[in-house]
């Protein structure tokens, strides 16, 4: 034990650009003074894995925001809505996002800085194509929520976590994100003492993310079983990649590990070991990892990409401006 601090086939970068949901410009109401409608934004392919079925603001109205005040009004509205972010939104505190929302950046222009987004006690939320920098807390926090898709974002420099998921949240997919310049990256389950809320929940699919020099928690898992870490690219990871603790069950499958001494292990800090099964991963100048125990069956159909091709696919398709 280490003690330290729906069916799919994806081939090549073209998969990252698959379009399944279009935001219709004719329904756009802009918060700026522009008199012409801006081009529509397209969302990437629908989420696979545990977050499948998340639709966000599809079917609702569309609004484009350029200021923090307009952003807060839009994301906290009770209406089903697509919120297009065009410009830098400077936040001073964690900002709650209401249910049935898609919050999506326009091209590479959508940026959130200063603080992050709080997805708390809600359902059916998509956070997509946004650059998060320098949050004074988490970049994205998810708690007491279900049906969440966090997709194609670029996240760096958060004071706490890049994407933290906790407090009985479940049915979530975290896909095609690039995280970098980040110590504590992705936490799943916040406390060893929270088994009563978290057991049977915290079911998350992490697919096609680029963990680019992140130090730890890629992810660090408590209680969730199964958790699926599928076809991600781990490059130059510092302390460790994946940790399974506190009765968690993690399947680490088809990932590409490069320059990562400790790709995965059991136990972390004062947390007891969970279970971890590794399958068909690819290693370049990396350790072999630690496995043990059994993991519940993945309850959805999928086809894993060959691990040796994951680096090329993920570096071409992860992050902003790729949808």
Cα 64 off chain centre by: 23
Cα separation, 59 vs 141, whole angstroms: 25
The partner residues of 126 in beta bridges, in order of sequence, read 102, 149
Show contacts of 26-33: CB within 8 Å, 24+ apart: 27/61, 27/62, 28/62, 28/63, 28/64, 28/84, 29/61, 29/62, 29/63, 29/64, 30/63, 30/64, 30/66, 31/63, 31/64, 31/65, 31/66, 31/67, 31/70, 31/74, 32/64, 32/66, 32/86
Cα separation, 236 vs 238, whole angstroms: 6
CA distances from 145 to 172, 225, 226 (A): 9, 17, 18
- Contact, 309 vs 15, CB < 8 A? no
Phi, psi of 163 (to 5 degrees): -135, 105
State whether the Cα torsion 171-227-165-198 is positive or negative: positive
User: Is 217 annotated as catalytic?
Assistant: yes
Please identify which of the residues 84, 167, 178, 217 carries the catalytic annotation: 217
State whether the Cα torsion 15-21-24-25 is positive or negative: negative
**Residues with catalytic roles:** 217
């Amino acid at each position: 034990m280490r003690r330290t601090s729906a069916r799919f086939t994806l081939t090549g970068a073209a998969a990252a650009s698959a379009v399944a949901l279009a935001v219709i410009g004719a329904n756009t109401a802009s918060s700026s003074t522009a008199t012409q409608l801006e081009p529509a934004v397209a969302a990437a392919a629908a989420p696979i894995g545990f977050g499948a079925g998340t639709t966000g603001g599809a079917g609702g109205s569309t609004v484009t925001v350029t200021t923090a005040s307009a952003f807060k009004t839009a994301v906290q509205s009770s209406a089903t809505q697509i919120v297009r972010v065009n410009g830098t939104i400077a936040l001073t505190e964690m900002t709650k996002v209401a249910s049935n929302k898609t919050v999506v950046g326009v091209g590479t222009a959508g940026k959130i800085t200063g603080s992050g987004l709080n997805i708390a006690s809600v359902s059916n939320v998509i956070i997509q194509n946004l650059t998060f920098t320098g949050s004074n807390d988490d970049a994205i926090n998810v708690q007491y929520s279900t049906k969440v898709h966090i997709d194609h974002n670029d996240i760096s420099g958060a004071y706490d976590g890049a994407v933290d998921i906790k407090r009985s949240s479940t049915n979530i997919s975290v896909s095609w994100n690039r995280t970098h310049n980040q110590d504590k990256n992705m936490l799943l389950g916040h406390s060893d003492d929270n088994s009563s809320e978290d057991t049977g929940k915290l079911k998350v699919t992490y697919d096609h993310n680029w963990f680019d020099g992140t130090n730890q928690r890629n992810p660090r898992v408590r209680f969730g079983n199964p958790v699926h870490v599928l076809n991600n690219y781990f490059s130059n990871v510092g302390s460790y990649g994946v940790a399974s603790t506190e009765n968690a069950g993690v399947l680490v499958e088809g990932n590409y590990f490069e320059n990562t001494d400790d790709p995965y292990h059991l136990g972390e800090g004062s947390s007891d070991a969970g279970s971890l099964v590794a399958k068909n991963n690819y290693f370049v100048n990396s350790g072999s990892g630690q496995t043990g125990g059994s993991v519940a069956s993945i309850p959805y159909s999928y086809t894993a990409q060959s691990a040796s091709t994951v680096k090329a696919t993920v570096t071409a398709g992860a992050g902003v401006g790729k949808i």
